[in-house]
Amino acid sequence: MLNISPNNKNEIDENQFVAYQKVNQEVSAPKLRRALYIIGGLVLLIMLLPWTQNIRSNGKITTLRPEQRPQTINSIIAGRIETWFVKDGDFVNKGDTIVVISEVKDGYFDPQLINRTQQQIKNKELSVVSYEQKVSALDQRIDALIETSQLKLQQAKIKYRQARLKITADSIEFQAAETNYDIAKDQLTRFEKLLNQGLKSQTEVETRRMAMQRAQASMISAQQKLLQSRNDLIDAKVEVRSTEAKYRDEIAKAESEKMSAMTNMYDAEVDVTKLQSQAAGYSIRNGNYLILAPQDGYVTKILSSGIGETIKAGQELATIMPLNYDLAVEMYIRPMDYPLVRKGQPVRMQFDGWPAIIFSGWPNNSFGTFGGTVFAIDNFSSENGMFRILIAPDKKDHPWPKALRVGGGVNAMLLLKDVAIGYELWRNINGFPPDFYTEKTSKDSKSTPKK
């Protein structure tokens, strides 16, 4: 039955409950306030403690130089595996034979291929020598034609000059004969007049007539000689022109033969060069049948096993790890943290297999970690959308373990600015990036001259 009547009073006996008696005591309030003050002071003190901002990221061990990283041994040419000289884990020196392959292309099956190519080169070289001799003979022929043409042309010009001089002599002789004919004609006319007057006899007139006819015959003969001389002059001029044209054609023909011989010689030289290149290629290809170790190291894995297996050009055969290498750490950071990273920045790292106690805000109190510095920073993001940085060992810190190997895991911290713990908590709650700062460079202040 419920006790809801206002007249019903249930009084509690405080002496029966010990916990009620302790809660109801007022003496506990000062102790509680004191404890809260102490806790608040400790929290405030902790908030004012220094805290090193950092960027944490996982990475892996790699090498500083590309030639020190694990590399694959490839076959330069296609072939068939004949003999393996190594196995997984073997140590090889630079130049040691890894595997021997044989030829699979029919164009290189001839075992005397290089010797036959060398013989072809010798034959082509003899062809070059023959063409050189032909060019030399044509040069001599051209020189002889030039010399002969000069002599023939000089002879033709002399004949031309003789013809001109002969025309001059025949012209003078023709003028003299013409004058004699005019004189004989005038004398005949006068004698005929004297005959009519009875002063001369008929015999004398006939004598003069005969003399005029002889003078006329001499004039006609002289004129004919003059015309013949003029015809000889034309023939001499034609001979000069024909001599020039004849030897010009012969010299041009010899020059053309010379150019043809030179063209053939140059073609033969090109063929010699091609054959020499082929012979060198065949010799180099024979050397590629032996796959050699590029540097000292350990064979980590054989990728193409089996005898008689056919491989393609550029196919991977084995993996080798160089003997000497400089370790580095490769890690990735977010694009938001990229502006905060700079070269030479200190880094603390924990390697897989080496236990460590890490206090991310107090790197000096971390145990089992190793120091490093930022060596390189990529200027473009990787495929995962993050930026890659390389970390080199810190020479001022204790050295990294010698048992580290390429590919091991790393947990790294990039150390940034020292701030208070309270500020760091406020920054993380609001999602702000760590503070960015740069070292100040001291500049020499110039003193102003006194007046």
- What CATH number has the domain bearing residue 261? 1.10.287.620
Residue 94 lies in a domain: yes
Residue 243 lies in a domain: yes
Whether 250 and 339 map to the same domain: the answer is no
Residue 361 lies in a domain: yes
**Is the sign of the CA dihedral 417, 422, 428, 433 positive or negative?**
negative
Task: Tell me which of 6-10, 132-136, 308-312 is least confident.
Answer: 6-10
Whether 194 and 95 map to the same domain: the answer is no
Q: How far apart are CA 150 and CA 228, in angstroms?
A: 28
Among 321, 342, 366, residue at a domain's last position: 321
Residue spans of alpha helices (H) in 18-112: 18-23, 28-48
Whether 266 and 293 map to the same domain: the answer is no
Q: Which residue range(s) make up the domain with 203?
A: 113-285
Whether 86 and 117 map to the same domain: the answer is no
Q: What is the CATH number of the domain that holds 406?
A: 2.40.30.170
Whether 120 and 242 map to the same domain: the answer is yes
pTM above 0.85, yes or no: no
Element containing residue 140 per DSSP (H, E): helix 113-197
The overall average pLDDT reported for the chain is 82
Asked if residue 13 has pLDDT above 80, the reply is no
Task: Tell me which of 1-15, 127-141, 238-252 is least confident.
Answer: 1-15
Q: Which residue has the higher pLDDT, 337 or 446?
A: 337
Q: How far apart are CA 167 and CA 232, in angstroms?
A: 9
Asked if residue 443 has pLDDT above 50, the reply is no
Whether 280 and 339 map to the same domain: the answer is no
Whether 355 and 421 map to the same domain: the answer is yes
DSSP 202-262: HHHHHHHHHHHHHHHHHHHHHHHHHHHHHHHHHHHHHHHHHHHHHHHHHHHHHHHHHHHHH
Whether 362 and 392 map to the same domain: the answer is yes
Residue 108 lies in a domain: no
Tell me the three state secondary structure of residue 329.
Answer: strand
Residues 206-262 have pLDDT tens digits of: 888 888 888 888 888 888 888 888 888 888 888 888 888 988 999 999 999 999 999
Q: How many domains does the chain have?
A: 4
Q: How far apart are CA 329 and CA 346, in angstroms?
A: 13
Residue 201 lies in a domain: yes
Residue 212 lies in a domain: yes
Among 232, 257, 285, residue at a domain's last position: 285
Residue 274 lies in a domain: yes
**Is the sign of the CA dihedral 420, 421, 423, 427 positive or negative?**
positive
Whether 239 and 118 map to the same domain: the answer is yes
Q: Which residues contact 198 (CB under 8 A, 6 or more apart)?
A: none
Whether 329 and 258 map to the same domain: the answer is no
Among 233, 257, 285, residue at a domain's last position: 285
Whether 316 and 359 map to the same domain: the answer is no
In angstroms and rounded to an integer, the radius of gyration of the C-alpha atoms of the chain is 60
Residues 387-421 have pLDDT tens digits of: 999 999 988 888 888 888 888 889 888 777 777 77
Whether 358 and 303 map to the same domain: the answer is no
pLDDT tier at 362 (50, 70, 90 boundaries)?
low
Residue 6 lies in a domain: no
Q: How far apart are CA 268 and CA 423, in angstroms?
A: 84
Q: How far apart are CA 263 and CA 131, in angstroms?
A: 9
